[in-house]
Amino acid sequence: MFNDKKVVFSGVQPSGNLTIGNYLGAIRNFSAFSDEYHCYYCVADMHAITVRQVPADLRKRTYETLALYIACGLDPQKNTLFVQSHVPAHAELGWILDCYTMFGELSRMTQFKDKSAKNADNINAGLFTYPSLMAADILLYQTELVPVGVDQKQHLELCRDIAGRFNQIYGETFVIPEGYITKEGAKIMSLQDPTKKMSKSDSNENAVVRILDSKDDIIRKFKRAVTDSGNEIVHGEDKEGITNLLNIYTRFTGKTLEEAEKEFDGKGYGEFKLAVGETCADALSPVKAEFDKLMADKAYLEAIMADGATEAYKNARRTLSKVKRKLGFTDIKR
């Protein structure tokens, strides 16, 4: 299926209904790599359990995330789509890399500090060592390129450090991956607090637009979006709310900020917010229709899971076997 192409890897946690930030900053862009790269996209269910999950909900969202991958344009014939826990090599290499990751490095991770503050009653070891497992996810497939959000850039840098450290000790083992961050609109901000990133775990539903929201809900949320006390539709550091809405509008339409500003010159905030909401809803409508169709065919999704796990395991096993030999682990024939 894939010939000798360079490798792209990314994963999305099934820990909540995905937002337009996940869509615009990551998933929608994944399909652009499909023709030139051997692409692995996983549903990162092992990462999700660093925070307590309701088992039935996690199971349901795992199917939903896979369906969203496909609905957003990822062809299973061109990409390896799989569930992380279906490939045990991720956990095996994760433990090995734990032993080559320094305590101080992990303690400096911004996301650990943020998640610890939000989950003070469950600061578990998995939450602390999460970046080592993320490194294993990437390095298992000899990944050259990682589409990554700006909030994960620190983890990718640590992954590069871990790979370099292992290579220095045992000789060339891992490819050192490079990050790919969308230059414009990489971070979509909250509709209610545009100084903060839009988060699928936000308790304020008006702050978050989800990929699977209804058209009415999407438009309602944009109508309630925070703007500012002015009346000009222009971007700027002192107009965080309007800038966020302009960024969302340009990402969905492909227009530049200057083109969008010219289009809404002289228009009121109400008219502008309605236009952004309708544009967003119209763009997501075919995604939701395809998603609903896929979710009605559980057998098809399970077949994709099985095929993806087989393909991923085949390639992950090569790297894991190499690592084990270099470490001095013994092997037996079964």
The domain that holds 284 is classified in CATH as 1.10.240.10
Same domain, 162 and 31: yes
Could you tell me if residue 199 is inside a domain?
A: no
The string of pLDDT tens digits covering residues 61-115 is: 999 999 999 999 999 999 999 999 999 999 999 999 999 999 999 988 887 777 7
| 191 belongs to a structural domain | no
78 and 157 share a domain?
yes
Residue 196 lies in a domain: no
Residues 163 and 25 in one domain: yes
Is 108 inside a domain boundary?
Answer: yes
Query: What's the structural domain count of the chain?
Result: 2
Active-site annotation, residues: 115, 197, 200
Q: In terms of domains, do 163 and 232 share one? A: no
- 3 band by pLDDT with thresholds 50, 70 and 90: low
Same domain, 83 and 212: no
Q: Write the pLDDT tens digit of every residue in 106-146.
A: 988 887 777 777 777 778 888 899 999 999 999 999 999 99
pTM: 0.88
30 falls within a domain? yes
**277 lies in the same domain as 307:** no
Residue 118 in any domain: the answer is yes
List phi, psi (to 5°) of 249: -60, -45
Task: CATH number of the domain at 22, please.
Answer: 3.40.50.620
Can you give the chain as a three-state secondary structure string?
CCCCCEEEEEEECCCCCCEHHHHHHHHHHHHHHCCCEEEEEEECHHHHCCCCCCHHHHHHHHHHHHHHHHHCCCCCCCEEEEEHHHCCHHHHHHHHHHCCCCHHHHHCCHHHHHHHHHCCCCCCHHHHHHHHHHHHHHHCCCCCEEECCHHHHHHHHHHHHHHHHHHHHHCCCCCCCEEECCCCCCCCECCCCCCCECCCCCCCHHHCCECCCCHHHHHHHHHCCCCCCCCCCCCCCCCHHHHHHHHHHHHHHCCCHHHHHHHCCCCCHHHHHHHHHHHHHHHHHHHHHHHHHHHCCHHHHHHHHHHHHHHHHHHHHHHHHHHHHHHCCCCCCC
250 and 231 within one domain: yes
CB count within 10 Å of CB 288 equals: 17
* Euclidean distance between the first and the last CA atom of the chain, given in angstroms as a whole number: 28
Could you tell me if 236 and 155 lie in one domain?
A: no
User: Do residues 222 and 121 share a domain?
Assistant: no
- 287 plus 302 within the same structural domain: no
Q: For residues 157 and 273, state if they share a domain.
A: no
The confidence score (pLDDT) of residue 100 equals 97
**Is the residue at 241 inside a domain?**
yes
Q: Which residues span the domain enclosing 177?
A: 6-181+298-327
Same domain, 31 and 168: yes
Q: Is residue 82 part of a domain?
A: yes
Residue 22's pLDDT is what?
Answer: 86
The per-residue pLDDT of the chain, averaged, comes to 91
Structure confidence by residue, pLDDT tens digits, 179-217: 987 655 558 999 999 999 898 888 899 999 999 999 999
